Amino acid sequence: MSSSGWETSLVGALGFWDMSDRYDPPAIEVAWQARWSQSEAYHVSNDDPRPKSYVLCMYPYPSGPAHQGHVRNYTFGDLNVRYRTMNGEAVLSPIGFDSFGLPAENAAIRTGVHPRVFTEERMAELKASLTRLGAAYDWRREIYSHDPSYIRWSQYLFLRFYQAGLVYRGDAPVNWCPGCQTVLANEQVLADGTCERSGDLVVRRELTQWFFRITRYADELLEGLEDLDWPQRVKTMQRNWIGRSVGAEISFEVDGLDDYKLRVFTTRPDTIFGATYAVVAPEHPDLERLTAPDLEERVKAFLEEVATRSELERMAGEDAGKRGVPLGTYAINPITGERIPIYVADYVLGHYGTGAIMAVPGEDDRDYEFARNFGLPVVETVARPEGFVGPVYTGPGAKINSGFLDGLSVEEAKAEVISRLEKIGAGSESVKYRLRDWLVSRQRFWGCPIPILYCQACGTVPVPDDQLPVLAPDDVEFRPTGESPLLHSDAFRLTTCPRCGGPATRETDTMDTFVDSSWYYLRFCDPFSEDRPFDVQAVEDWMPVDQYIGGVEHAILHLLYARFFTRALSDLGLAPATLKEPFKRLFTQGMIRLGGSKMSKSKGNLVTPQRYFDTVGADALRLFHLFVGPPADDFDWTDQTDEMIEGCHRFLQRVWSLADRIPVNQGEPDTGNPTYLVVHQLIARTTDGIDRWAYNTSVAALMELTNALSKAQADLVDPVTLDYGLRTLLELLAPMAPHIASELYHRRYGLDVHRQAWPKVDHALLASAMVTLVVQVNGKTRATLTIDPLAPEEVVRPLAQTAIASHLEQVKIQRVIAKLPRVMNFVVE
RNA sequence: GCCCGGGUGGUGGAAUGGUAGACACGGAGGCCUCAAAAGCCUCUGCUCGCAAGGGCGUGCGGGUUCGAGUCCCGCCCCGGGUACCA
């Protein structure tokens, strides 16, 4: 890190300066921002000798000028960067933009403006806001997803995954709008199941799509959570999302079908004596075989009805009473030999487990509901506990009505059934996951093209590395139907097969934008390489991210996909072998609400920061976001918020005027001075607040310090100690309100406050300081005493007793609980 | 339904089992001023009392403890996530 020379280029003079100028935040802030952008203060290189750390905020979708959510997020990030820097670390602090996505494409359809133009305008606005906020970045490392040099490596990685068998093509149900002839995202389907654009009824349709085989990593992704310093609830959400279930797969013979077994999955093999029917999903591949001839018509009608429902509806719909029809065939219970009817019903999902279940209405709510609808028998196989009411019991207990299992516990019975099934070859233990493979195909223009060709002769052919990036053409037409223009661009679609030289067509799907955000943090380590996605050594040097900061809305998808990418890249040798988890610590900030809902552009309830930048300044706004409450908590933007921001501004003004009143007086402070003690107590509290993400308490400590110094100044405390206190205050303030701290520090000391060491607490001094002893009678505080923390009980007790003498009259002291030097409690009768 | 969070003054919030309400916002009074703005000072949980000094208070009900906002049990309410995953 080289010196940029501006430390001495300003006012420069030590000692007094002309403070007739008032605190003018916008002027000061813009000037410092200009200096920061010219300096290399927050540029880091891989051979930096300081201990390395990596602080990253989730890179933003460029939606235009920053809103308060951005301000909050990037204020937290910047505080971390500047604080760690003052603690002697080389901090990698990059920023970029998640610049592909639907809004730009919708705007193109609406107005005809090319998504790139639309996006880059908004990127420039967001960048300007971040700069205006005063956030410190290594801008040399800026990346954005739609940059051809980023697209190139996204495609390169896609192809490596493809070659490794981690990418495949398969059929998946999608929301299809017959009117628009296109696929819709779930958000584009209205609650009544119609298309938001055309109003047509959306149907489910199987379409060939590209997938990442994330399920191969299900177990690893689950186990990897253990060691992460992440919020517990985010880890829990990921665990639930992966949804590992241990149970058994059981084969049922089907009456009249030779050489066929119906395989079901259950987590409750112990309940097999209660299985009174079986159900297959509407998508079950063997549905036709399982349907008796006389019921084909009914089944067909049912399947048509199911097809009109999107998957979302199917699961959540109001009428989600159990729907289904009997198939007219029967399965044979391998344990009991019982003959049970087979149904098709849409409460069973085709993509989970085996797509078929044995239904146990006595021990499963869903099965019970269905059984009741269809008049099917219910058998209880677990003894209900005393006092239990209700038809369905899912808890532990002794097995009943279960033949050889009777008397066993549920857990014992599970093992017993599995071993019996294995013996007779009718089943075995099985583990299933809720997690599905990651569907990455998007029928969109504004995304990273999937680098695949289809050749009549050679079939599916990956685009050779030396032909990357595959870029979408600019010369396209955006149709109001929402179809991707790539479909109609012959210039893009028609090409030559690299293998045989014959005619080929390009894949027109683009990738989910979560692909872009799954590796950007790796590219940040080395955005300079032109011949590879990133240098492995650079990644080894910086990764994992020491502190990742973002919103909880990404708790599942982004954070899971990024974890998958890191593991896969590591296994493929593209990332360091030791790198398994990308984000060591995660912090999820609370959201900002206005009028009861999340503040967001789509809700149209934004309060933009610009007017605060123009008046009270970025420092005051930053301070407000730090002060308003715990960073992890949500907060409501209300009528009072402006007054609180105003209060933060007034605080900074008091700091400014305090600096005016306290002359520069460098030297050794008086360590015996009470002011010196207060300074150290407040260094401790400020630091503690930062370390435990309680920034609101850190700000409070700085306010107290300011108040204390102000009083000390009025009381004519030793001028060197006063100067020392103010200097410390500015150092503590630097990560939070970097501009005013820089300005005052520079004016007073001619130095860059951000290059100072974070103030160190004199712990010995704090430990020896006089403390307040609470004197209680029966647990009620009756007096307080100021005592030496080391004073022994024999000394303290008489003092305490004297202080509460009036409360000890006419009573007998039974016990004295002394927890010195904090409390002494007299227990009286 | 299930899984997390969370209920503390008029408001945002603070409090390793040890003085509940730090620090702010708002409010009241005062100083400065010809006046205002700004700034500064004092007060500000409820309640009884002239005062000194009491009593009550962290959603509700129990419990543990010398001592509970904090720990345990049972409820109520609010917010978020998730939702037929067998």
User: Any idea which of A198-207, A383-392, A535-544, A565-574 has the lowest mean pLDDT?
Assistant: A198-207
DSSP conformational letter for A200: P
Q: How far is Cα of residue A587 from the mean position of the Cα atoms in its chain?
A: 8
CA-to-C1' distance for A391 and B75, Å?
A: 25
Residue bearing tokens 């009025």: A714
Tell me what percent of chain A is helix, strand and coil, each rounded to the nearest 5.
40, 20, 40
- Write out the DSSP string of A650-694: HHHHHHHHHHHHS----S---TTSHHHHHHHHHHHHHHHHHHTT-
Is residue A19 pLDDT above 50, yes or no?
no
Q: What is the pTM of this model?
A: 0.91
Return d(Cα A702, Cα A717) in angstroms, integer. Answer: 19
CA-to-C1' distance for A563 and B60, Å?
A: 44
Q: Residue type for A669, please?
A: P
Q: Using alpha carbons only, give the angle A121, A123, A129 rounded to the nearest 5 degrees.
A: 110
CA-to-C1' distance for A771 and B38, Å?
A: 39
So what's the pLDDT on residue A477?
86
User: Any idea which of A184-193, A199-208, A700-709 has the lowest mean pLDDT?
Assistant: A184-193
Give strand letter and number of the nucleotide nearest A345 (CA to C1').
B84
User: Any idea which of A288-292, A309-313, A591-595, A656-660 has the lowest mean pLDDT?
Assistant: A309-313
Q: How far is Cα of residue A756 from the mean position of the Cα atoms in its chain?
A: 33
Return d(Cα A730, Cα A732) in angstroms, integer. Answer: 5
CA-to-C1' distance for A771 and B16, Å?
A: 16
Higher-pLDDT residue of A415, A604 = A415
* Closest of A678, A685, A687 to residue A706, by C-alpha: A678
Return d(Cα A566, Cα A547) in angstroms, integer. Answer: 16
- Asked if A134 contacts A171 with a C-beta cutoff of 8 angstroms, the reply is no
Using alpha carbons, list the distances in angstroms from residue A602 to A63, A71, A108, A594, A645.
10, 17, 17, 13, 25
So what's the pLDDT on residue A482?
72
Give strand letter and number of the nucleotide nearest A316 (CA to C1').
B83
Beta bridge pairs of residue A547? A55
- Asked if A212 contacts A438 with a C-beta cutoff of 8 angstroms, the reply is yes
- Can you tell me which residue has its alpha carbon closest to the C1' of nucleotide B84? A347
Using alpha carbons, list the distances in angstroms from residue A808 to A640, A703, A776, A803.
48, 41, 11, 10
- Verify if strand B has an atom below 7 Å from the CB of A336: no
- Verify if strand B has an atom below 7 Å from the CB of A124: no
- Which of the four pLDDT bands, split at 50, 70 and 90, describes residue A17? very low
In angstroms, the first-to-last Cα distance of chain A is: 70
Query: Average pLDDT, stretch A426-440?
Result: 91
The neighbour count for residue A44, using CB atoms within 10 Å, is: 23
So what's the pLDDT on residue A18?
46
The three-state secondary structure class of A611 is helix
Question: Strand B: which positions are within 7 A of a protein CB?
Answer: 3-5, 10-16, 18-20, 22-26, 38-41, 54-55, 66-68, 79-86
Three-state SS string over A458-516 comes to CEEEECCHHHCCCCCCCCCCCCCCCCCHHHHCHHHHEEECCCCCCEEEECCCEECHHHH
Q: How far is Cα of residue A743 from the mean position of the Cα atoms in its chain?
A: 36
Return d(Cα A698, Cα A736) in angstroms, integer. Answer: 10
User: Any idea which of A156-160, A580-584, A677-681, A804-808 has the lowest mean pLDDT?
Assistant: A804-808
So what's the pLDDT on residue A106?
86
- Verify if strand B has an atom below 7 Å from the CB of A429: no
Q: Write out pLDDT tens, residues A270-321.
A: 999 999 999 999 989 999 999 999 999 999 999 888 877 654 455 444 445 5
- Verify if strand B has an atom below 7 Å from the CB of A633: yes
Where residue A140 falls (left for φ over 0; alpha for ψ -120 to 50; beta otherwise) is alpha
- Verify if strand B has an atom below 7 Å from the CB of A770: no
Beta bridge pairs of residue A427? A250
* Closest of A275, A290, A289, A264 to residue A343, by C-alpha: A290
Tokens of A736: 């939070």
Burial A695-728 (b: 16+ CB within 10 A, else e): bbbbbbbbbebbebbbebbeeebbebbbbbbbbb
Residue A158 CB-density burial (10 A; 0-12 exposed, 13-18 middle, 19+ buried)? buried
Return d(Cα A660, Cα A503) in angstroms, integer. Answer: 77
So what's the pLDDT on residue A192?
62
Rounded to the nearest 10 degrees, what angle do helices A738-749 and A618-627 cross at? 120
Query: Average pLDDT, stretch A385-413?
Result: 88
Query: Average pLDDT, stretch A373-386?
Result: 89
Using alpha carbons, list the distances in angstroms from residue A662 to A472, A513, A650, A671.
62, 54, 18, 18
Give strand letter and number of the nucleotide nearest A703 (CA to C1').
B23
* Side-chain-facing half-sphere of A147: CA atoms under 13 Å: 16
Query: Average pLDDT, stretch A94-109?
Result: 92
- Asked if A213 contacts A437 with a C-beta cutoff of 8 angstroms, the reply is yes
Most confident by average pLDDT, A83-97, A188-202, A213-227, A808-822: A83-97
* Closest of A744, A786, A767 to residue A32, by C-alpha: A744
- Verify if strand B has an atom below 7 Å from the CB of A268: yes
Residue A630 CB-density burial (10 A; 0-12 exposed, 13-18 middle, 19+ buried)? middle
The three-state secondary structure class of A799 is helix
Is residue A446 pLDDT above 50, yes or no?
yes
- Verify if strand B has an atom below 7 Å from the CB of A641: no
Higher-pLDDT residue of A189, A702 = A702
Q: Which of residues 200-239 of A touch strand B (CB under 7 A)?
A: 232-233, 236-237
So what's the pLDDT on residue A479?
82
CA-to-C1' distance for A817 and B55, Å?
A: 25
Tokens of A156: 């390169």
- Which of the four pLDDT bands, split at 50, 70 and 90, describes residue A190? low
Q: Write out pLDDT tens, residues A503-531.
A: 999 999 999 999 999 999 999 999 999 99
- Which of the four pLDDT bands, split at 50, 70 and 90, describes residue A439? confident
Higher-pLDDT residue of A322, A355 = A355
- Verify if strand B has an atom below 7 Å from the CB of A370: no
Q: Using alpha carbons only, give the angle A518, A533, A447 rounded to the nearest 5 degrees.
A: 50
Query: Average pLDDT, stretch A24-30?
Result: 94
Higher-pLDDT residue of A308, A701 = A701
Residue bearing tokens 């084969």: A251
- Asked if A559 contacts A233 with a C-beta cutoff of 8 angstroms, the reply is no
So what's the pLDDT on residue A188?
64
Give strand letter and number of the nucleotide nearest A239 (CA to C1').
B3
- Asked if A55 contacts A109 with a C-beta cutoff of 8 angstroms, the reply is no
- Asked if A394 contacts A364 with a C-beta cutoff of 8 angstroms, the reply is yes
Residue bearing tokens 């209300």: A638
- What is the average pLDDT score of chain A? 90
- pLDDT above 90 coverage of chain A, percent: 70
The three-state secondary structure class of A327 is strand
- Write out the DSSP string of A57-121: EPPPP--SS--HHHHHHHHHHHHHHHHHHHTT-EEE---EE---SHHHHHHHHHH---HHHHHHH
- Can you tell me which residue has its alpha carbon closest to the C1' of nucleotide B15? A697
